[in-house]
Structure formats: C-alpha cells, structure tokens
Structure 1
Amino acid sequence: MPHEHAIQCIHEPYLVVLSYLVSVLGSFTALQLAVAIPAATGPAQRLRAIVAAGVAMGGGAIWAMHFIAMLACNMDIPVAYDVALTTLSALIGMVSCMLGLSIAGSGVFGWGKLVVAGVFMGLGVTGMHYTGMAAMMMPANAVYDTALVAASATIAVVASIVALWLAFNLRGAMQMFGSALVMGIAVCGMHYTGMAAASFLPNGAGNAVLAGGLSGDYLGSSIFVVTTVVLAMMLVTSLVRQRQRQLVEI
C-alpha cells in the first residue's frame, strides 16, 4: 500500500532499457562461461570456471543491472551511495551466484540439487538487492511492503533455478542468446518488483546525510563502462577458447 506522503519514483525509460541490455549481456556471458564448469578437468580449472561465470552473472547480469536500474528511479531528491554497503552488495551477488553454480554443477545434475542451488542463489540475489537499497543515502527512509518483498524474493529464486538449468543444459549460441533475453526479463522483474515494494518517506535530514557517499551519476556511469568492458572481454575470451576446443576435437 503506497504511503500518502511518499516521494514518487519516476523511471527514466532509457535507463530502464539500458539496465535490461546490461542484464542480457551479463546473462549471455555467464551462460557462455558456465559451459566450462562441467568440462573442467581438475579442481583449479573448475574453480576458475565457477568464479568467472559467477562474476558475469552476479556482477553483470544482476548487480550492475540493479544499480543502473536504481538510477532510473528519479525521485527529485539528492541520492548518494554508501561505499561499504555498495561493495558488500556486489560481493553478495557474485558469491551467491558462485555458490549456486558450484552446487548445481557438482556431481550428477538433478532437479533436487538444482532447486537447492536456486534457493541459495535466489536468496543471495534478494540480499544483494536490499543491501543495495540500504546503501542509498538520502533525506528519506525506505518503508517496505512485505507482500511485494516476498514476491521479489520468489521471483529471484525462480529466476535463479531457471538460470542454473539453462547454464548446464544449453550449448548453442542462439539458444543461449534467447535464454539471455528471458533471463534479462526475469532479473529486471525481480528488481522492479523490489523497487515497487519500497516507499520513500521524507525524514527532514537534509543534504548532510550525503556526506562521504558516492554520487549516483558517477557510480552509474562507472558501473556501466567497467561492466560492459569486462563482460565483453570475458565473452570474447570464452568464445575464443570454445573455438579452440572445437578445433582440437576435429
């Protein structure tokens, strides 16, 4: 139920679209990298594959999308971001994805294991989202609708289960691209449901509350540039390695 005196969040359409595109790029890169997990020949190689796919999924498809989407919410009040909580949210997102990939990709692949991995990963993604929300420094307090919070967590768990299934069952590039489009919708659905759960109520704190925080515009542009470059490099590297393996097998 929206609060009568809540600050309105007006979403910038181009940033909403940009957040979706970043999520699709991160999802496609993660799917390409996840192929190396079951193909790993030793613990070290497997760990590298899990870390790479986890960074792409948790850091790109989910966390970077999250902060770009948060910048899409224009509330006509100054907003900065706490450095420690922002960093913590990124770590939660990446580590939870690594954990999910590690559980789902160990031993014989099965639905029971997939669901357990998806629950761990989905709850981690939910924790990332609300930790990122807590990082907002502004002259307002966030009040949450528990039903929508529960809905966002459910979407995150379901999306995680789907993402893990896709990661270990798809091989074709076009299949992965189509799946990345679907994953982007699921990740954005989780985020914007979580945002809808929050009402921002003025607290009269003034701009002093922003001291020591990162500017939203600076953070958003930095995340977009760094994430796009890193994901592009990871994707190219993955595609080259896959091509080399195919040539060796011929």
Structure 2
Amino acid sequence: MGHLDHATFGWLTPVLSYAMASIGAALGLRCTVRALHTTGRSRRNWLLTAASALGTGIWTMHFVAMLGFGVTGTDIRYDVGLTLLSLIVAMVVVGIGVFAVGYGRNRERALLTGGLTTGVGVASMHYLGMAAIHLHGEVHYDPAMVTVSVVIAVVAATAALWGALNIHTPGAVVLASLGMGAAVSSMHYTGMLAVGVEVAPSAAPLTGATSMQFIFPLTVGLGSYLFLTSAFVALSPTARDADAYASASAERARHTGRLTAPGDPSAATGS
C-alpha cells in the first residue's frame, strides 16, 4: 500500500484551493443575484457567467489541491483529455443547476432539481479528475466514503443555489461564499480519504503530463479568469444603477426640452 500525502507543499495547496472555491462561489452567487433582477438576454448572460465562475472555481479548487497530492513509490501523470473533460463536466452541470434556478417557476422544485443535478455533477467531476491520474499501481475506493463525498457535494450545491435565491446583501454573499468554499473543500478531501493505492513499481514510463507541465499552468490561467471576471462584475453597473442613470437621463431630457421648447427664440438664435 502506497502512502498518500495530500499536502506535499504543506498548507499552501489546501489554503489556496479553498480560496479558489470561495472566490468562484462569491462570483457565481453575485452573478446569479444580478441575473434574477434582469430579463431576456441580460439574464441569460449573467447566468452563463455565474455557471462559468462556479464551475471554474470548483474545478480549480480540485486541481490546486491535487498539486499537493503525492504517493510514495510512484510518480503521477495526468491524462490531458480526461482532465479537460472534467472541466467541461463541471461547467455543464453547474450551468444546469444555475439555469434551473434562474428560469424555474417553482423555486422549491428548481432548487431541489438543480441542487441534486449540480451536486452529482460536481462529484462526477471529482472522480473523473481522479480517473485521469496515471501511476504505477492500482487505485481503489472505499464505497462508504465515496457515498459521503457525494452527499456533501449535493448538500453544498443545494446550499449554494439556495443562497443565490435568498441572499442579496454583499456581506451575506461573502459569508455564504466562505461556507460554500468550505463545503466544496470538504467534499474534495472526503473523496480523497476514500482513495487507496496499491503501488506496483515498474520501469515502464508513465503516459500523460506532469502536474507542472499541465495542471499548474491551467489552474493559473483559470484562476486569472476568476480574478478578471470578478473585476468586471465589480465594475459593471447594477440594475439599480441603470435605473438611476435612466431617471437622470430622462430628467435632463425634460429639463432640456423646457429650455428649448418650440417657439422659444433662443432655440433658433442659439442665444
């Protein structure tokens, strides 16, 4: 049995992965709240941004944590195709949940459907990412711990979507995001506790990319996306700002109309 180390870089990867999950959750919740106050194309665009933020945050959390994963007696490589597929799965399933909440007429049913779908999808992303690992040996799982990790994923996803429907103040969004980050991290490390590895030393080279060749640059790129999107959302006017701007513009138009009403000599002379 190979010894599994989930923090080969100490507290760096757990703390950084938690931060990525929390940032993704905060951005996703904020965008969903924006979406629920709009209609039409604007609602769709905000929901797409929310889905990409949540999906990216969850996936980045998983693979930042995996940067600190090691097994004594074997190197680790990652299948590029399966790893990218796990990212797509994260985006799609989170999108299903977010759109269910954004367009569902029955909020309770949408919440349950979206939470279950998203939670199972997040767990699928996790184990698909684990399936992308190549090492000298055999990986096996404790079914009970796998079940617990899936339950945590469903509860975390449902709580996040509930927050999107019911939490609106910035302070509450921050607290909900920190809780969501903790729940996603708990799901990940619970799933990792289910893992066991029977190492079988071999001279044959492993296929796939190392974490530094592939996982690290991809997580840096996605992390940068989260920060840039956060800046965009922070600088984007809210619906309240848009209403205030429209009212001010209308008032200026009325005021200008009074100053240059038809028949006013100054309108013709410019005096």
Tell me, in whole angstroms, the C-alpha distance in 2 between the residues paired with 1:170 and 1:207: 54
- Quote the RMSD (CA, aligned, Å): 1.6
AA aligned opposite 1:34: T
- Structure 2: stretches of 5+ with no match in the other structure: 245-271
Question: Given the two structures, how large is their TM-score scaled by the length of structure 2?
Answer: 0.84
Match of 1:247 in 2: 241
Cα offset, 1:197, TM superposition: 0.4
1:71 is matched with which residue: 67, 74, 82? 67
Q: Deviations over 1:136-194 (max 9, x none)?
A: 11112210000000000000000000000111222221111111110110000000000
Q: Deviations over 1:186-229 (max 9, x none)?
A: 000000000000101113344512x3x12112334313321221
Secondary structure in 2 matching 1:142:
strand
| Structure 2 residue 154 is the aligned partner of structure 1 residue 157 | yes
The answer to whether the Cα contact below 8 Å between 1:143 and 1:199 also exists between their aligned partners in 2 is yes
| Structure 2 residue 29 is the aligned partner of structure 1 residue 34 | no
Question: Given the two structures, how large is their TM-score scaled by the length of structure 1?
Answer: 0.90
AA aligned opposite 1:154: V
Secondary structure in 1 matching 2:123:
helix
The answer to whether the Cα contact below 8 Å between 1:15 and 1:71 also exists between their aligned partners in 2 is yes
The answer to whether the Cα contact below 8 Å between 1:13 and 1:72 also exists between their aligned partners in 2 is no
The answer to whether the Cα contact below 8 Å between 1:80 and 1:215 also exists between their aligned partners in 2 is yes
Relative contact order (alpha carbons < 8 A, sep ≥ 6): 1 or 2 greater?
1
AA aligned opposite 1:126: A
| Structure 2 residue 133 is the aligned partner of structure 1 residue 136 | yes
Structure 1 residues 1-250: aligned runs within 5 Å: 5-11=1-7, 12-42=10-40, 44-60=41-57, 62-76=58-72, 77-209=74-206, 211=207, 213-243=208-238, 245-250=239-244
The answer to whether the Cα contact below 8 Å between 1:140 and 1:202 also exists between their aligned partners in 2 is yes
Tell me, in whole angstroms, the C-alpha distance in 2 between the residues paired with 1:124 and 1:95: 8
Q: Percent identity?
A: 32
Q: Deviations over 1:34-93 (max 9, x none)?
A: 123223321x33332222111110112x10100011122232431111011001100111
* 66-75 or 114-123, larger mean C-alpha shift: 66-75
Secondary structure in 1 matching 2:104:
coil
Secondary structure in 2 matching 1:6:
coil
Cα offset, 1:96, TM superposition: 0.3
- Structure 1: stretches of 5+ with no match in the other structure: none
Q: Aligned pair count?
A: 241
